[in-house]
Amino acid sequence: MVCEAFGVSRSSYYEHRRKRSCIDVERFTLRAAVNRLFTKSRSSAGS
């Protein structure tokens, strides 16, 4: 298994994957909020 080749326990690998998916969901949510605010400002925010 790849985990053995890199000296990483399987539990650590799966914990890392679980955390990453949570971060991806949070990033998606924040990006949607930023896009809404940008559209609401008629594309002038951040200019």
DSSP, residue by residue, the chain: -HHHHHT--HHHHHHHHHHHHHHHHHHHHHHHHHHHHHHHTTT-TT-
pLDDT at 47: 59
Residue 19: its pLDDT value, please?
81
Calculated CA dihedral for residues 12, 14, 16, 19, nearest 10 degrees:
-130
Q: What is the pLDDT along the chain (47 residues), one digit of tens a residue?
A: 688 899 999 999 998 888 877 778 888 999 999 999 989 988 787 65
Total-model pTM: 0.50
